[in-house]
Structure 1
Amino acid sequence: MLVRNLRAVHPAWIIAVLTLLALVAGAAFRSTTGALFEPLESEFGGTRTGTSGAVTLNLVVYGLTAPFAAAAMERLGVKRVVIAGLALTALGSGLTVVMTELWQLWLLWGLFVGTGTGVMALVFGSIVANRWFATRRGLVMGFFSGANACGQLVFLPLIVALTHHPGWRAAALASALVAAAIIPFMALFFADSPQAIGRRPFGEDPAQPVPAPGPAKISAGRLALTVLRDSLSSRAFWILVFTFWVCGWSTNGLIQTHFIPAAHDHGMPAATAAGLLALIGVFDIAGTVASGWLTDRFNPALLLVAYYGLRGLSLVFVNSLLGPGIEPPLWLFIVFYGLDWVATVPPTVALCRIHFGLERAGIVFGWVFASHMVGAGVAAAAAGWIRESTGSYLLAWVSAAVLCGLAALSLLALRRAPEPEREPVPEAAA
């Protein structure tokens, strides 16, 4: 009976589950950085600026890897590229247990793990959603976006506990083992596309002709750069780049990286702050799935106006909410920020598809996502410098609030009809 039921399930849903596992593996590492700041500084004598710099390099490499990873998936196949990313993440995180100086953190976190997790960024999810689903793409992308929150939810409390006993090396090793454990599942059960196994995307009209693979023309790197060059003349591209840059600044760069040390500055125990950050992850799952459902039904640009505007408003008050204990207003912030955390992803992916077409959407979103992580990297370094220079994170919270307001205003320009359809993207070389 179980085997018969499994055969009745469209393979797109099995691929979606495997994609979720890979995204969670990447998120397992992302949940460690803020929790490991103080132990690393204590052992190696580093400063907050130094450790923040390693995170900045990680975030920037992570983001800049994404568009080239998307093009490599077109050229080499999704499965090969993702398995390589998982292996690189496991290697980089695992080698931190034997490092002896802080500069090695820049190499391992910045280059090894930055590249590996960049392969498993949400660009991977967007390619899977676009290839395997003809309907419910927004909802599926909502689940993929929530995978980051799920990884944070599952692993952050464990990471904090391991950091306290037996130590931060155990926490780093745990992240490495999670990434390594996903590799066999991807190798055995993942497929690059429905056509590769003789199926159609979920929800596609059976009368729709199955597209034949096009001729190989250009390399993956050139493909990524060609799509970037063609997109630079689009106002929609620049708006999406700016708004996702702000999204990265206000989430991964600021809250995820600095919330725990900022709360500790106000007398809150690190374990309590980590629990609150994990709780943001709980509500993020609900928020992103709901955002995906809304994206399938409403104008995605107007959804983003609301998301960024409300996020900016909440950041104005966060510094005054932190203290030794948890008061009701802080609970309100945690719930709201969790619901809004990456709710921006499904509408942004939809706008890439609407304005640039299905064939270009994955790589365009790769470049947009790169701006997200560059914004996160700049924020991680800037917030660390602000804290070290002024003794407080107040200016960091306020600057993020202003940027969110500007992002909301800029998106009003995308509420009208999309730009004319573009020429098909050239095929990547085999």
Structure 2
Amino acid sequence: MDFAFDARTEELRARLLAFMDEHVYPAERVVDEQRERLSSPWENPPVVEELKVEARRQGLWNLFLPDAEYGAGLTNLQYAPLAEITGRSPQLAPTATNCAAPDTGNMEVLAQFGDERQKKQWLEPLLAGEIRSAFAMTEPDVASSDATNITTRIRREGDEYVITGRKWYISGAMHPDCRIFIVMGKTDPDGPDIRRQQSMVLVPRDTPGVTVKRAMRVFGYEDHYHGGHAEVVFDEARVPVSNLIGEEGGGFAIAQARLGPGRIHHCMRLIGMAERAIELMCRRAVSRDAFGKALAQQGVVQNWIADARVAVEQLRLLVLKTAWMMDTVGNRGAHTEIQAIKIATPRTVVGILDRAIQLYGAGGVSQDFPLAELYAGARTLMIADGPDEVHQRSLARREIKKYL
């Protein structure tokens, strides 16, 4: 088995690591100061726009998209170590390189399922970083862990679709540059196949009947960097039938195609978050004394750091194996591995961040260090893209089926 990265990956890693050191980490210290002077908390601070220009100049742009026509043309295995690096600063680096959710998943959907008009109108400006987007699937009034539960109605009237429903935690919707929603709803709510009732349509944000009602917080954070999360109401919003993505009844399949890469991208970045936590733990441990000796000499602290290193090395191998399988046998063939990393990675990284917070004491829960915000993001990923229990249920069924 060869664990070395190929030449292109190594070259991009070197450039991306330098970009992080020279531009991203220094920007972390100024972004909050700049945000306080903005007219809207959802606008990008000037330093973020500067990072985007520099990343694009250096060719560190759209690294996530395997389609060489639109993106960098990297495989999942090549992209994994790059996403890990950006995960060390998840608030800035993914946005700076145009590799931030939900835009990444939406671009993948448009690249794979959109027609030429849809690609021209929406995919191209997203690829250029000129606009942002949102993916409207989760609803507050049903258990959205089961996507067949969604109640948003997409009914056809002549040459138009009429959308009515209520969504929440719609990532990116608060950003002023958000121009387009990909909305999942039911075009055939009484159809015999519950996985063929749903469809996806493109709904411009300025469509009459679309109301972004409020920002939703995550553990008190508004997640400005990714355009926030919003409650959105669709009240008889009308769009042309040509705004349908793919075919009627294809929404569930498109959602699964979208979520597979999204899940592994999250796990890749989570490993970077864990690495940042370990670095912060070590720096704290060698710089603070308690009870007559350095924290680094305390046995419990040594155990936390050692356990974190072991866990991260295990997770990285599993994520890289999953990426390799997605490249070689496809997302369906790697279904078990995708679910395994989605269960294991957020859970483990939350534990590492929890120990890092404990080591920092009051500073760990403050805004002066990134740990609390990293924890909020990692903990959310035990719910987002399918809660752990859904993946455990599916994975267990697949294992048990071998013995029936």
Q: TM-score, normalised by structure 2?
A: 0.35
Q: TM-score, normalised by structure 1?
A: 0.33
- Flag the structure with higher helix content: 1
